Amino acid sequence: MGEGVERVRVFAFIGGQKTEFEIKTLCRVCGVSTSGYYDWAARAAAGPTETDQAEADVVERIRAAHKTSRGAYGAPRVTVALAREAGKPPVNHKRVERLMVLHGLQGRCGRRKVRTTIPRPQGGSGSRPGRP
């Protein structure tokens, strides 16, 4: 995981322990700045941002397109399906890929081809005996 994710975990830990210890001491021990913690706490208290809400809407659309295909569509086909939705903006293929990976969605792989013709051990075609 990235460094930002680790920092968020540290800030969440500090938020849980702030009733037991001073925030300044917790930040020093955890190796983060107090201003960083207070910035994170203010963003967390403000609730989801407009970008977070837009991303949640896109994830819902991706899940619907994936479910409609009964799990067969991967990111390229889901992107096309989202572009064809009437009245909704298209979504970039890289964003669709990222969100599908993040939420554990993937298309089904094709089946292996069945081998229908098995060669004869002595060679030849069988229909013309004198031919190699």
Sorted by where each begins, the domain ranges of the chain are 3-46, 50-102
**pTM, full prediction:** 0.60
What three-state secondary structure class fits 71?
coil
Beta strand residue intervals within 11-130, DSSP E = none
- Band (121; pLDDT cuts 50, 70, 90): confident
* Residue whose C-alpha is closest to residue 37's, from 53, 50, 22: 22
Q: Please tell me the distance from the alpha carbon of residue 42 to that of residue 46, in angstroms, as a whole number.
A: 6
Kindly tell me if the per-residue pLDDT of 43 is higher than 60: yes
Q: Residue with structure tokens 């009245």?
A: 87
Predicted confidence at residue 126, as pLDDT, reads 59
Sign of CA dihedral 95, 97, 102, 105: positive
Average pLDDT estimate for 8-31: 92
Angstrom CA distances, 107 to 10, 25, 81, stand at 35, 48, 14
